[in-house]
Amino acid sequence: METDIEKWLGKEGEKVLREIGIKKEHTILDFGCGEGNYSLPAAKIVGEKGRVFALDKSAFKLTELLKKAKLAGLENIKTIETKGQLKIPLNDKSIDVVLFYDILHSYYFSTNERKKLLKEAYRVLKPEGFLSIYPEHIGLKEIEEEAREANFYLEKKYSKRLIHEYSYTNGYILNFKKLSR
C-alpha cells in the first residue's frame, strides 16, 4: 500500500499546489524547503521554463531533495544552501511565488526575525506575485497581522489536506499579495 508521502509526491501534492495558484513557467522560492515535499510537486507544475529555488540551511536535506529530484527526472530545481541568514540571495522582484511552509514558527524564528523575513519576501516578489504561507505551530491571526504589517494583504485562505513531514494533516494555506508601497 502507498504511504501518505508516496501519494503526495506521486500526484496529490501537484494537485493541491495547482489549486493554490502555482502555474506553468512560474519561478518559485521555497524557503526552508527541507527534503522537498513542496519543491518537488512545484517543480513538476512549473515545467522546463519555470524554476524552483529550494533554499535551506541543512546541506543534508538539500542532498536528499536532489536525490528525489533526480529520481523524478526534474532538472528545474536549483538548491541554495545558506547559513540560516534572513537575507535571501535573490534579486528584487524576481519571484512569482514565495513559499513559507511550516517554517515561520518560534522554533526557528523570533517575531522580529519573522518580520525581517516577511520584508525579504516582499522584496524578492514580483509586483503580481504572491506569498503563500502554511502556518504550522503558529496562530493564523498572528501571521495574518504580521504579513499585513509587512505590506501584504490576505488574498485567499484554503483549507487543504497537506503533507506534514511524512504524513497527511489538515491545514490552511494563506495566500498574500503585495500592497504597493
Ligand X SMILES: C[S@@+](CC[C@H](N)C(=O)[O-])C[C@H]1O[C@@H](n2cnc3c(N)ncnc32)[C@H](O)[C@@H]1O
Q: Provide the binding-site residues for ligand X, judged by CB under 6 A.
A: 32-34, 37-38, 55-58, 61, 82, 84, 101-103, 108
Q: Are 100 and 28 in contact (CB under 8 A)?
A: no
**Comparison of 102 and 146: residue with beta carbon closer to ligand X:** 102
Q: Which residue's CB is nearer to ligand X, number 18 or number 57?
A: 57
Retrieve residue 51's grid coordinates. Answer: 524554476
Least separation in angstroms between CB 41 and ligand X: 11
Q: Pick between residue 36 and residue 50 the one whose CB is nearest to ligand X.
A: 36
CA distances from 52 to 41, 121, 151 (A): 10, 15, 24
In whole angstroms, what is the distance from residue 25 CA to residue 119 CA? Answer: 25
State in angstroms the smallest separation of the CB of 180 from ligand X: 28
Task: Considering the complex, state which of residue 103 and residue 173 has its C-beta at the smaller distance from ligand X.
Answer: 103
Supply the minimum distance, in Å, between the C-beta of residue 55 and ligand X.
Answer: 6
Burial of 50 (0-12, 13-18, 19+ CB in 10 A): buried
To ligand X, the closest distance from the beta carbon of 104 in angstroms equals 10
